Structure 1
Amino acid sequence: MYLAIATDGVELQQPERTNELYASYWERLGPDEITKLLAEHDAGELLPDFNHVMVPVATLRRLAAGRVPEGWDDDFAAMLAHAREKGWLSEDGEAVRAHLERER
């Protein structure tokens, strides 16, 4: 799954794919614009390295609702467990780190 960030909003693409998580943007958005879009859509925050986004787990669940197959909750929980093992989950478990990529 990936979080698609664009000037017209933030969408979760391919929510059924729980084996990867990243964020991407197509336009020539700068850090300030990305930060603003994430905040406006309750989709997380850009980290100071400008290469990662902390995405609320609740946001991923909200954006995936009604669009995923049966068993997704278990697959999503496994993804979060893997993220915790790698140090990509916040201490409180409420946000997960996603690499930010510029699409070409």
Structure 2
Amino acid sequence: MIVEVVTGTEERPEARVVDVDDLGRLHLALGQVTDEEAAQVLERAGLGRIQDSETAFLDVAALHAAAQPRATGPDWQADWDRMIAHARTQGWLSEDGATVRVHVESAAGA
């Protein structure tokens, strides 16, 4: 699963959740947007916040709400639960389980 912040309609940055059935990975991909634009769009969408150029914190409930309605896998919820459990074992999940720490990557070419 990828959360993208890319230039959308009318050249305005937008956040979107893509590859919702691929729960073997989770990261934030930034397109041709400034760091400030990316931070504002991500927060405005309620999906999370950027800590620095390499790390972001995504809102688990908002991510689930954005992805689940578009999921097509019959075991999607179980796969989601495994992904979140794995994040917890790696220390990527906040203590309260509300946010997950992810890597920030370039979405160039995506």
Write the distance in 2 (CA, Å) between the matches of 1:46 and 1:5: 11
- Structure 2 match to 1:81: 85
Aligned amino acid, residue 6 of structure 2: A
RMSD: 1.2
Q: Give the aligned length.
A: 102
- Structure 1 match to 2:5: 5
Write the distance in 2 (CA, Å) between the matches of 1:28 and 1:86: 30
**Which TM-score applies when normalising by structure 2?**
0.86
Deviations along 1:25-81, whole A, 9 cap, x unmatched?
A: 110422x2221111110010111x321111011111111132112211110110011
User: Unmatched 5+ residue regions in structure 1?
Assistant: none
Poorly superposed stretches of 4+, deviation over 3 Å: none
Identity %, equivalent residues: 29
User: Unmatched 5+ residue regions in structure 2?
Assistant: 8-12
Structure 1 residues 1-104: aligned runs within 5 Å: 1-7=1-7, 8-30=13-35, 32-47=36-51, 49-68=52-71, 69-104=73-108
